Structure 1
């Protein structure tokens, strides 16, 4: 089944959203640990640059508050790759994504064919897991989003960030996207040049569309992006 046709659960978020952290649950089952490591080693054979950093997972999601814990990325990867491990781990990993709005319209990226998650689908840019890059314990969503913007689009400089506006959870992977908007005065030509010169390979194509054109791409645009687009409709 097309993943955009599966169940994605939307939660509107308040402007004063708070986030708290607590300790991760102990991984006491040896069979689960062995399963996680097997998935990790198998995936490394195809993606040798993967890094087992710390990512944030939710334990509770409310309109005005989030709570969760840091865990190893390989736990989340194992859940995505193995339905059996998914039922044992039951993780809800947190991600950030946005609509990048420039003078010509809304920038979309097509996920690289070799992407670990939803390859070939179009989405608002940037997007990525909430990571602990410097060993920090707190969660700074806007800093995470701007880091993704630089890494995936190659875009730096002054931008205006609004949100998060909503949460969108995929009921199969249990990944929870937090949706923002980012406004920039840079032209799409400048954005595309920055992407080609400075960005990683998260996307194999960028396009800029108005709202009507994006509607025509609906079956290939991820639900979090579609939900954010509805926020722009008067």
Structure 2
């Protein structure tokens, strides 16, 4: 189940508490799940960190940084949420090039939504990009994902990414902030940069003209990630947002 909220363009993210106190038996369960996953997936599994939400609103999100393995354990054993309370924060870009909106089909090897189409770029907030006060910077995170997932450099962006919607996935406890980002590239240039990437999260990209986005939503409904659909639905109700 998804819950969709409008947010201010100047939405801020701030660090709050250090997170919940976790009993030793829960930590042992987390470690056991992590060990099992490592044995199955090997070096492809990395224990980074992610921003976990405490409180969220249209102007501000507060939270703390958790280990990725906590979230993975929570996904494998949903009962752990009652103690760990991991609510990851992610960013999803409504990427507009000169020919339309960019979407990508998730590669088969990724952890979530493999094989589905979604808005590009997207990713978790891990604290690697901060603003002048040392707080996580959503726009900077999105631009990092943009370069990694499409090959498009931040210099090609016509103005800073602008937040406009928040989508909460209550089943998976994941929240995504949708930000619109515009680049001065054609569809052909976007595809050329993407083709040069050697490590891809997407099998392919597609550029859909803004005037045809409703048809895309109708025709690809069974193959489109729910969060991306919610963000596109929200953008479609704001004609000025898509037209820029």
TM-score of the pair, normalised by structure 1: 0.89
Q: How does 1:9-48 map to 2 (within 5 A)?
A: 9-44=3-38, 45-46=40-41, 48=43
- Judge conservation of contact 1:111–1:120 (CA < 8 Å) in 2: yes
Q: How does 1:9-158 map to 2 (within 5 A)?
A: 9-44=3-38, 45-46=40-41, 48-133=43-128, 138-156=135-153, 157-158=155-156
Q: How does 1:143-222 map to 2 (within 5 A)?
A: 143-156=140-153, 157-159=155-157, 160-198=159-197, 200-210=199-209, 211-215=213-217, 216-222=219-225
CA shift for structure 1 position 145: 0.3
**Structure 2: tracts of 5 or more residues without a match:** 240-244
Over residues 115-174 of structure 1, what are the superposed CA-to-partner deviations in whole Å (9 max), with x where a residue is unaligned?
111211111000100012379952111110000111111111321344211110111111
**Structure 1: tracts of 5 or more residues without a match:** 1-6
Q: 2:226 corresponds to which residue?
A: 223
In 1: Cα distance, 2:25 partner to 2:203 partner: 38
CA shift for structure 1 position 227: 2.8
Task: Classify the secondary structure of the residue corresponding to 2:43.
Answer: coil
Deviates more, 1:169-178 or 1:223-232: 223-232
In 1: Cα distance, 2:129 partner to 2:142 partner: 15
CA shift for structure 1 position 49: 2.6
- Judge conservation of contact 1:165–1:179 (CA < 8 Å) in 2: yes
Aligned residues: 228
- CA pair 47-101 structure 1, distance change in 2 beyond 3 A: farther
In 1: Cα distance, 2:27 partner to 2:187 partner: 45
Deviates more, 1:155-164 or 1:61-70: 155-164
- CA pair 64-135 structure 1, distance change in 2 beyond 3 A: closer
- Judge conservation of contact 1:27–1:33 (CA < 8 Å) in 2: no
Over residues 63-111 of structure 1, what are the superposed CA-to-partner deviations in whole Å (9 max), with x where a residue is unaligned?
1211111111111121222212233322211000111111221111111
In 2: Cα distance, 1:204 partner to 1:105 partner: 19
- Please, what is the CA RMSD of the aligned residues? 2.1
Deviates more, 1:218-227 or 1:130-139: 130-139
